[in-house]
Amino acid sequence: MFWEKDIETMEISELRELQLDRLRTTLIRANATPYYSQLFKKISFDPTEVRTLDDIQEIPFTSKNELREHYPYGFLAVPRDEIVRMHSSSGTTGRPIVVFHTIHDIENWANLVARSMYMAGARRSDVFQNTMGYGLFTGGLGFHYGAEKIGMMVIPSGPGNSQRQIALMREFDTTAVHILPSYALHLLDVFKELSLDPKKDVKLRMVFIGAEPHSEEMRKKIENSYDIDAFNSYGLSEMNGPGVAFECPFKNGLHVWEDSFLFEIIDPQTMKPMPDGEEGEIVFTTLNREGMPFIRYRTRDLAYIYPDPCPCGRTHRRISRIKGRDDDMLIIKGVNMFPMQIETVLMKFPEIGTNYQIILETKEHMDELTVEVEILSSADDMRIYEQLRRHIAEAIRDEVLITPRINLVQHGTIKRVEGKAVRVIDNRDKS
């Protein structure tokens, strides 16, 4: 059993008390780090004087920049001897940052991941194949320890080598998989090449998808193609990795584990709190971390809070799926848009495969938007392509107000990378 009922369904008032208690401890710990001790002194903040959760509003935000400037040990709260593990971000947006964990931190992290997977329905009897990267990246080891805690048999396959992934699934009756959504879709092609049916020739029943933005339509495509349940898993290295927010069986928003993370949603421009239901940047404060506490860490990730309680009975609040990072926002011909909006439109066309790319260029001093998409099968009649191209362009224009050029390419044309999918190629003149 990994249903931590007392914590997961705790009365809200009790949960807030627990948070306050843990916040106090965290702030006192933070005061032992080179970075926060200096900051607290500068703003005359006394961590022993904290009375309410709102008191952290006095503390300035921490961002990736500070982490980079004070790399590697500026946020360490314990002697280095107490650290048992180091992890690092994937470096999607620049120089990777490092995070240090004590035994307690690793234990708590494994617990959060186990709790998350159990919530989604994973059990001891499951065979769990973890296709995420092992090593510095948090996706591999993070899920690994959580799955072992539940008592599942873990196949630490790591990423890539698609034929072998499928062979492992078949030989060991894998029932649950942790996978990048883009890779789950790519794997479908490999099933096809091997003349196998992912619905019948493997025993999969659930996947955990995360680490990169994906649309609801992408989830549905994965669920329908494999005939499985797909659960959204959100996390970031700075907050351990996976196990920060996760979907329950209702698949309607992700429960943020509030016993371990205090979170705020702010307007990224004014930095003021956003009301529930309105989109903003997620900001986290760790509540149960010894090695490297972070106070008001700006994730750049955009989401909103679901104000209503979840029918599953858990009291930890839910956030929407992540729309992307605020630096994913594209400004094309002066219009703002997110790659996710384009994906949402594309996935509604049954003729379209699972791989696409957004290409930006400058033509005669103007931005030009091209959406390159793979199509599933080839048609003899050119008019079919013409029609499809027009329909896609119109649907995208309705969504983002700009008419893109649509480039239909054969299945398998767009280069795939191991790791997080690259969806945007910006070749515009920067001058």
Judged by CB under 6 A, the chain residues 322 through 361 that form the site for ligand ADP are: 322, 325
Please state, in angstroms and rounded to a whole number, the distance separating the CA atoms of residues 62 and 54.
16
Stretch that binds ligand ADP, among 84-92, 188-196, 290-298, 360-368 (CB under 6 A): 84-92
Find the binder of Zn ion among 18, 271, 312, 409 (CB under 5 A).
312
Nearer to Zn ion, 219 or 314 (CB): 314
Q: What is the dihedral of CA 27, 25, 283, 71, to 10 degrees?
A: 60
Strands 330-332 and 324-325: unpaired
Counting contacts by CB under 6 A, is residue 303 touching ligand ADP? no
Q: How far is the CB of 90 from ligand ADP (least distance, A)?
A: 4
Q: How far is the CB of 233 from ligand ADP (least distance, A)?
A: 6
Q: How far is the CB of 285 from ligand ADP (least distance, A)?
A: 16
Counting contacts by CB under 6 A, is residue 280 touching ligand ADP? no
CA 149 to mean position of chain CA atoms: 22
Binding mask 137-156 for ligand ADP (x = CB under 6 A): x-------------------
Nearer to ligand ADP, 123 or 325 (CB): 325
Residues 340 and 323 sit within 8 Å (Cβ to Cβ): yes
Residues 168 and 160 sit within 8 Å (Cβ to Cβ): no
- Helix (H) or strand (E) holding 100, with range, is strand 98-101
415 burial type by CB count under 10 A (0-12 exposed, 13-18 middle, 19+ buried): exposed
Nearer to ligand ADP, 50 or 295 (CB): 295
φ, ψ dihedrals at 303, nearest 5°: -160, 175
Single-letter code of the amino acid located at 291? G
Counting contacts by CB under 6 A, is residue 114 touching ligand ADP? no
The DSSP annotation for 10-66 comes to --HHHHHHHHHHHHHHHHHHHTTSHHHHHHHHHTT--GGG--SGGGGGGSPPB-HHH
Find the binder of ligand ADP among 102, 129, 157, 233 (CB under 6 A).
233
φ, ψ dihedrals at 187, nearest 5°: -60, -25
Nearer to ligand ADP, 93 or 125 (CB): 93
Judged by CB under 5 A, the chain residues 214 through 273 that form the site for Zn ion are: 248
From the list Zn ion, ligand ADP, none, partner contacted by residue 204 (C-beta under 5 to 8 A by kind): none
Strands 245-247 and 229-234: antiparallel
Counting contacts by CB under 6 A, is residue 131 touching ligand ADP? no
From the list ligand ADP, Zn ion, none, partner contacted by residue 310 (C-beta under 5 to 8 A by kind): Zn ion
Nearer to ligand ADP, 31 or 285 (CB): 285
From the list ligand ADP, Zn ion, none, partner contacted by residue 312 (C-beta under 5 to 8 A by kind): Zn ion
Please state, in angstroms and rounded to a whole number, the distance separating the CA atoms of residues 357 and 371.
6
Stretch that binds ligand ADP, among 43-51, 182-190, 215-223, 230-238 (CB under 6 A): 230-238
The DSSP annotation for 400-416 comes to HSSPPEEEEEETT-S--
Residues 93 and 302 sit within 8 Å (Cβ to Cβ): no
| Nearest CA among 298, 299, 319 for reference residue 307 | 319
Stretch that binds ligand ADP, among 8-16, 206-214, 392-400, 405-413 (CB under 6 A): 206-214
Q: How far is the CB of 219 from ligand ADP (least distance, A)?
A: 10
Q: How far is the CB of 95 from ligand ADP (least distance, A)?
A: 10
Counting contacts by CB under 6 A, is residue 371 touching ligand ADP? no
Please state, in angstroms and rounded to a whole number, the distance separating the CA atoms of residues 242 and 296.
19
Counting contacts by CB under 5 A, is residue 50 touching Zn ion? no
Q: How far is the CB of 60 from ligand ADP (least distance, A)?
A: 20
Find the binder of Zn ion among 53, 153, 271, 310 (CB under 5 A).
310
Stretch that binds ligand ADP, among 11-19, 109-117, 144-152, 231-239 (CB under 6 A): 231-239
φ, ψ dihedrals at 286, nearest 5°: -70, 145
Dihedral sign of CA atoms 91, 96, 101, 105 in order: negative
Q: How far is the CB of 116 from ligand ADP (least distance, A)?
A: 12
Would you tell me which residues interact with ligand ADP (CB under 6 A)?
89-93, 137, 210-213, 232-237, 299, 301, 322, 325
Would you tell me which residues interact with Zn ion (CB under 5 A)?
248, 310, 312, 314
